[in-house]
Amino acid sequence: MTMNKKIETICVQGGYTPKNGEPRQIPIYQSTTFKYDTSEDMGKLFDLEASGYFYSRLQNPTCDYVAAKICELEGGVAAMLTSSGQAANFFAIFNIANAGDHVISSSTIYGGTFNLFSVTMKKMGIDFTFISPDCTEQELNAAFRPNTKAVFGETIANPALTVIDFDKFVRAAHSHGVPVIIDNTFATPVNCRPFEFGVDIVTHATTKYMDGHGTQVGGCIVDSGNFDWMAHKEKFPGLCTPDDSYHGIVYTEKFGKGAYITKATAQLMRDFGSTAAPQSAFLVNLGLESLHVRMKRHCENGLAVAKFLKNHPNVDWVTYPGLEGDKYYDLAQKYMPNGTCGVVSFGVKGGRKAAEAFMKRLKVYAIETHVADARSCCLHPASATHRQLSEQELVAAGIGPELVRLSCGLESADDLIADLDQALRG
């Protein structure tokens, strides 16, 4: 009997079902390589004629169990782990866009992703247009070119905390025959499952809430299996025409709904090797087992802190999509009615200097370039993650010099609020 399991059950048990007498917990396959009886057996793997493991740069069972759990959480058909969230976003796009191609991205995205797109991938010949997530549908449609291959955005943007309107982005992308790729790191599938709103591919920095304990960097790509590559085959030759590096197989013909992830694994992992380590995958899974429990608390603490800051005399403004009156409250209610995330941004009255002084006085919140951890932490993006951006780009990314990003952990909300109060009062 197949059961339509709830998200809580998938967090705990998804991805790995031991057979009689097998380990209850996911085993760590600490092995680079796998043994075969004949060269013919192995040859079939190299030709993608048979599925199986041969070298952990491409695939490893521990990593695959964890990818399968995330896939199930998102409601996708196939998934792969990567060595970082950066690798996940790079592969997700590079799998379908080459030199000479164009991608549309929301302008409010993670600073690392913005650098990847606007500097490094640009050097590789892929052109990006950055557009405000608040753009009109007309403006969005006008950004498409004949060589546009994907539309990218973040469910809840890090650190701007904008909420993307899936309906608007999906409608525009699909009317131009390209998929929507969404980085769902901040919401996690506990609070939002973008495939339910027509998104085609989801990425994650598992580094954040999925791990949740600040133990390792990792990423994941999940495919909904819903995008019809063959209906737009002239746009996606990599998926729809023969791959010379595998004796001319055509991924869509041979792997159907698994085409996109199979290509990313067999071709991009083979060539770039940004693989997750089995030990890291094991640790991500420990985080996933309690993701549903932790997200609830992160959201409760985030909302309590946001409400407190909103009424504080030394606070200019507060951004938290779960806070009534927030610019993105309605979109958050539409797409994430059960909660958003534990990250709250706010402006310290007095600008950059006041923000820096406030940070120095904090005792419970630690200064880190990290978010989504059990331990509360905070960052002043203008002097850290986003320091490469010009003033203009800072504004476009929704990050003023007074902005402080708080990541509310799993501590007592009372202690978090007391810490913020003393640091704000100085």
Ligand X SMILES: *Cc1c(COP(=O)(O)O)cnc(C)c1O
Q: Name, in order, each residue with C-beta under 8 angstroms of 123's C-beta and a sequence gap of 6 or more.
A: none
Nearer to ligand X, 197 or 229 (CB): 197
Nearer to ligand X, 87 or 104 (CB): 87
Does residue number 113 form part of the binding site for ligand X (CB under 6 A)?
yes
Number of H helices, E strands in the chain: 19, 12
Nearest-approach distance from CB 84 to ligand X, in angstroms: 3
| Per rule CB under 6 A, count of chain residues that contact ligand X | 17
E strand spans, 139-239: 148-154, 180-183, 201-205, 219-223
Nearest-approach distance from CB 204 to ligand X, in angstroms: 8
Does residue number 217 form part of the binding site for ligand X (CB under 6 A)?
yes
Using CA atoms, how far apart are residues 57 and 276, in angstroms rounded to an integer? 8
b/e map 61-82, b = 16+ CB within 10 Å: bbbbbbbbbbbbbbbbbbbbbb
Using CA atoms, how far apart are residues 48 and 42, in angstroms rounded to an integer? 10
Residue window 337-356: x/- pattern of binding to ligand X, with contact defined by CB under 6 A = --------------------
Coil/strand/helix, residue 204: strand
Nearer to ligand X, 155 or 301 (CB): 155
What tokens does 118 get? 């606007």
Q: Which stretch binds ligand X (CB under 6 A): 50-58, 203-211, 321-329, 417-425?
A: 203-211
Q: Torsions phi, psi of 276, nearest 5?
A: -80, 145
Reduced DSSP (H G I as helix, E B as strand, rest coil) percent helix, strand, coil of the chain, to 5: 40, 15, 45
Strand partners, 105: 130, 152
Does residue number 376 form part of the binding site for ligand X (CB under 6 A)?
no
Nearer to ligand X, 214 or 219 (CB): 219
Nearest residue (beta carbon) to ligand X? 85
Does residue number 373 form part of the binding site for ligand X (CB under 6 A)?
no
Q: Which stretch binds ligand X (CB under 6 A): 85-93, 118-126, 252-260, 342-350?
A: 85-93
Residue window 149-178: x/- pattern of binding to ligand X, with contact defined by CB under 6 A = -----x---x--------------------
Does residue number 86 form part of the binding site for ligand X (CB under 6 A)?
yes
- Where on the chain is the footprint of ligand X (CB under 6 A)? 84-86, 89, 110, 112-113, 154, 158, 183, 185-186, 205, 207-208, 217, 219
